[in-house]
Amino acid sequence: MYEQVSHTLLNDILNQIKPEISKQDLRHFYTRLGANFYAIHSLFQRLYGNRADFEQQALRLVETMARQYINRPENLRQMDLDREKDYNWFLSQQWVGMALYSNGFADDLQGVKEHLGYFQELGINLVHIMPIMRCPEGNSDGGYAVSDFRAIDARAGTLQDLNRLADEMHQREILLVLDVVVNHTSDEHEWAQQARAGNPVYQDYYYTFKDRNVPDMFEQSMPEIFPEHAPGNFTWDEQMQRWVMTVFNDYQWDLNYSNPAVFIEMLDIILYWANQGADILRLDAVAFLWKKIGSTCQNEREAHLILQLMKDCCQVTAPGVLFIAEAIVAPVEVIKYFGEDAVIAKECEIAYNATFMALLWDAVATKNAKLLNQGIKSLPVKLERATWLNYVRCHDDIGLGFDDRDIALAGYEPYNHRKFLLDYYTGKFDNSHARGKPFGLNSKTGDARISGALASLVGLQYALENNDLVNINDSVKTILLLHSMILSFGGLPLFYYGDELGTINDDSYLHDAHKMGDSRWMHRPTIDWHKAELRHTPGTIEYDIFSALKRMIAVRKEIEVFADFNNRELIEVENAHLFVFGRYNISQPSERVLVIANFDAKSQSLNLDDISHWASPHSGRMIDLYTGQSPDIFNHTLVVPGFSFYWLGEN
Ligand code: GLC
Ligand code: GLC
């Protein structure tokens, strides 16, 4: 949009811009800057307009974008232009991802490069490598406490290793996802060190206070994220003689985004990693970006403005690069991280679908889809050109973040139901074979989350230890069932490394002083590549899981209606053990696939009347696209075997 005030400012900025920048060929940069500047200016002004140095800061912002545009390698600029034309590229069902720690997966970045063939064998073409930036030797929250945003941690390798990996991945058409931890830094970061040494410029990069007055005000309304191992939201720093805000661990200092210098630094870092060849950046803990007294300090309006501004600026310099929002918050809140009142994503194109993840775990524990159905019914419709990141497990805990109203509508009492789930997954409930551990137990609120590897949570570890063939079989089926859901729901499925081999809990963290207080380490495995070879040996668990997932991925890629164009319809059926939804082609409604999941151990029946508007038994033979077989139908009833799924198409 053309608007005089912002345009005048833009002209002033362009006149002042450093000669070495203005001499470059900035054609594409200028067209994009012109297109986005009104929005950039409005957002920047809303956030920082009351400052005397506003115009200088705006100049620095534009210079930052220009400098990083100049640094952007030619092949990446070309990719920007290609993606501009093929703007729906990331909604395709062709993408299937995996998240991993480089050191747990294969020692380091070089190791990851040596194992690229593994991804291709399985069908993975998007790899999220969790934090690899420099972090402290001891406690670093798995790399989420960064001490240098522009260096690779020596334990992961070098910048050259990353560049080589990114090149090789691009040649193999595998997308690279990297983390940018935007909410906080490690206390060993140079900015924190400067703040500690008393430098007021850097103290203003964080929230620091001389006494408890302001912290105590904040604490009245702020929840605790790690109530057990890092209670409270502020830490006293002896050297600085001040309190500093530390929402996560006491060594993770929250950045102060009310300071434009912080915004510009972090934008520069985002663009820096975009220029190192990342296709997608995962922005960590974005719900926490703005702090306000009297609020929970999550999902604040300004946090959204910051993300919009990051997106608008990134579109000028590196428009082909997408953002993933890591906001593990209530469904009505998470949807806002795509941006509101828009068609295309105004903030992040992709967001973690923690709701679906937690609902799937509810269905596994209850053996029915009551809450799953209810929760999905309440999941707000998202923007058209934005997509979910669907996952079963990740490196974090499982939060039981359902809406209490949904729990009640599903027929349970919220407090007791959450307690049941916790007992179930920590193995305290009768008949539960799950081997999880509680995480983040809060004695004040009774809240808790769950840690544990997928295979151990679904009972595979128990079954193996007891050589219980029935349970081995059931837990393998459950692993496949859960993956069939994230592969068909609509969105980007993100596997978690090790799950494709049935990897169980790793208790070695209990012997590491820096990890023992944080049970999430039990599900952050080190891949045993000798054992992984068993994926080629029929009759092994590794083979059963890996080969089934491999087939599922291959089939997904062929089913075009699995692409995400908001083309899903939830179908409520009589039998509560079943979860049923249809996927269709918006422009060709006859092209459709019916997805049916049975969360119970026993076979369940589906009355064909329940799905009559979807799949008429007379219109053709229904065929399960995964197995190539027709399901059993008897007397107008379709039979779904225990812990199984169908992807039904018509033949
Ligand atoms: C994100 C990460 C989590 C980390 C937290 C703080 O939620 O996924 O592992 O503890 O941010 O950085
Ligand atoms: C909280 C945060 C989430 C983080 C998790 C780590 O749920 O909201 O961002 O991943 O804690 O345990």
The span from the CA of 453 to the CA of 258, in Å, is 39
Specify the ligand 1 atom closest to the Cα of 394: 8
Provide the residue count of the chain: 651
52-74, pLDDT tens digit by residue? 999 999 999 999 999 999 999 99
Closest CA to 63 of 265, 210, 322, 203: 265
Other CB atoms within a 10 A radius of the CB of residue 11 amount to: 10
Does ligand 1 lie within 6 Å of residue 202's CB atom?
Answer: no
- The predicted model scores a pTM of 0.97
Contact residues of ligand 2, CB 6 A cut-off? 225, 285, 326, 328, 396-397, 399
CB 627 within 8 A of CB 577: no
- The finding on whether 215 has its CB within 6 A of some atom of ligand 1 is no
What is the pLDDT, as a whole number, of residue 443? 86
* Backbone Cα Rg of the chain: 25
Predicted pLDDT of residue 620: 63
Name which residue sits closest to atom 7 of ligand 2, judged by CA. 328
Give the span between the Cα atoms of 394 and 414, in whole angstroms.
25
pLDDT tens readout for residues 507-533: 999 999 999 999 999 999 999 999 999
Instruction: From residue 361, give the alpha-carbon distance in Å to each of 426, 445, 485, 599.
Output: 13, 22, 12, 10
Contact 321, 278 (CB under 8 A): yes
Residue 268 CB less than 6 A away from ligand 1? no
| 59 within ligand 1 shell (Cβ under 6 A) | no
Task: List the domains of the chain with CATH numbers.
Answer: 1-179+264-282 (3.30.750.90), 567-650 (2.60.40.1180)
Give the span between the Cα atoms of 471 and 469, in whole angstroms: 5
Distance CA 119, CA 437 (A): 30
pLDDT for 617 equals: 52
> How close is the Cα of 453 to the center of ligand 2, in Å?
17
Q: Residues of the chain whose pLDDT is less than 70?
A: 615-620
What gap in Å lies between CA 179 and CA 176, rounded to an integer? Answer: 10
Answer whether 317's CB lies under 8 Å from 252's CB: no
Question: C-alpha distances in angstroms, 167 versus 158, 351, 361, 454, 545?
Answer: 14, 26, 37, 32, 30
Instruction: Please choose from 128, 222, 225 the residue to mutate so as to test ligand 2's pocket, defined by most ligand atoms within 8 A of CB.
Output: 225
Catalytic residues: 284, 326
